[in-house]
Amino acid sequence: MLNSINDPKIDWLGKRVLLRLDLNVPLNAEGEIIDDTRIKASLETTQFLLTKGARLIIASHLGRPKGKVKPELSLEPVARRLQELLDREIIFVHDCIGDGIKRLITELKPGNLLLLENLRFHSSEEKNEGNFAKLLAQNIDVYVNDAFGAAHRPHASVEGITRYVPIKLAGFLMQKEVENLNNLIQNPKRPFVAIIGGSKVSDKIAAIAPLLGRIDTLVIGGAMAYTFLKAQGKEIGNSRFEENRLQVAAALLKKASDNQVEVILPKDHVVVSEFSKDAPTRIVKKLEEGDVGIDIGPETLSACERAIHFAKTIFWNGPVGVYEWESGVQNTLGIAKAVAESEAFSVVGGGDSIAALHQADVYDKISYVSTGGGACLEFLQGIELPGVKPLIKR
């Protein structure tokens, strides 16, 4: 159980609170927000603290500027959107440490809100340097972490700062994430179906292995499926696969068999002859030389839909095709609709899967949508996340 901001013993009035959020939203080339899901997910905690009269300082990262100031990765568009959603003025500052920031925090009035600039404009954030963490903690009474999406990162604003602030609490989103993901680990209702997609086995391999002891059916889609098919000795044409993960994939398939887990791999495929979004597509059962798989086929989708229909618990992370292309997204949308129609307890994580939920217009029909892709996968492995550990009641 986590130490919560809902603790009635805490008097928030006038407390200077550093609230770590995950406002890492996608932006288009014009710097406009494409998807504000993460901003909206932060509102419950933000509004609670403001209503209680806290002096609120919000910190977040955006993208991967690698320690350099990149105007295209500024949190300024986020500040504008957050201001619209909260319907109150936000003080946006163009740095996150320094004497000017220290003065603004000191002068901040109860119920007011300050948004710091992108933490990752400083290389010290990702290096988790103590001096940077101390500067973030200056004049802060309470640290609240509501950034589950960054909880697997041992960064200064996630882990380092907790050494220098006396009170460390979980926001409402953090609590929901931990509670709902624990439902997948602790006695999930069976049958339990896990759907894992995406481009690389290496990105998901560590998460799949621990799941095999708890699930009944494993659906593998996306480009990573071709590594598994190749490991089985099947022809994959020119489809992308990871040569250095073939043995690992074979071992996972054996472990699944040993655990009596049904594995659904593509039985048919949507293919192109040239890896291009405009290339004409065909549906084939057997890949031949020159074929590039970009989506699972209708027969495979039907098999997935049957497994999903009978499931009592579902976890989905990653698209089953090239979701960025209209020619490769259709059956990912089919998965989204099937999960939404299921009566099972369903958890969906990962930005691409969440985008598919929106595209299929079924976001609100999922039991729980996790804001953390990598954090979600690591949590399910049983890894103690550096952003969660300091918040646990001892």
pLDDT of residue 393 exceeding 90, the answer is no
CATH of domain 187-380: 3.40.50.1260
Average pLDDT value over all residues in the chain = 94
Judge whether 16-175 and 187-380 match in fold.
Answer: yes
Q: Is 176 a catalytic residue?
A: no
Distances from the Cα of 302 to the Cα of 111, 238, 243, angstroms: 53, 25, 29
Once rounded to an integer, what is the mean pLDDT over residues 225-242?
95
Domain positions in the chain are: 16-175, 187-380
233 is catalytic: no
Which class is domain 16-175?
Answer: alpha beta
- The one catalytic residue in 15, 20, 38, 204 is 38
For range 247-251, the mean pLDDT? 94
Please report where in the chains the tokens 């609670």 appear, as a residue: 48
- Give pLDDT tens digits for 19-62: 999 999 989 888 899 888 889 999 999 999 999 999 999 999 99
Better-scored residue on pLDDT, 75 or 214 = 75
pLDDT at residue 198 greater than cutoff 90:
no
Report yes or no: 386 and 151 within 8 Å, Cβ to Cβ. yes
Q: What is the pTM of this model?
A: 0.89
| pLDDT tens sequence across 326-336 | 999 999 999 99
Rg (CA), the chain: 22
CA distances from 149 to 78, 153, 178, 325 (A): 16, 9, 11, 26
Residue tagged active-site, from 80, 127, 200, 365: 200
200 is catalytic: yes
351, 372, 373, 387: the active-site residue: 351
Q: Report the C-alpha gap between 102 and 139 in whole angstroms.
A: 8
pLDDT at 52: 97
Residue 18's pLDDT band, with cuts at 50, 70 and 90, is very high
Q: Are 334 and 312 in contact (CB under 8 A)?
A: no
Q: Nearest 5°: phi and psi at 179?
A: -65, -45
What is the pLDDT, as a whole number, of residue 284?
A: 97
Single-letter code of the amino acid located at 45: T
Range list of H helices, the chain: 37-41, 43-51, 76-86, 99-107, 123-127, 130-137, 172-185, 201-211, 224-231, 246-258, 298-310, 326-341, 351-359, 374-380
Question: Which of 221, 222, 374, 387 does the annotation list as catalytic?
Answer: 374
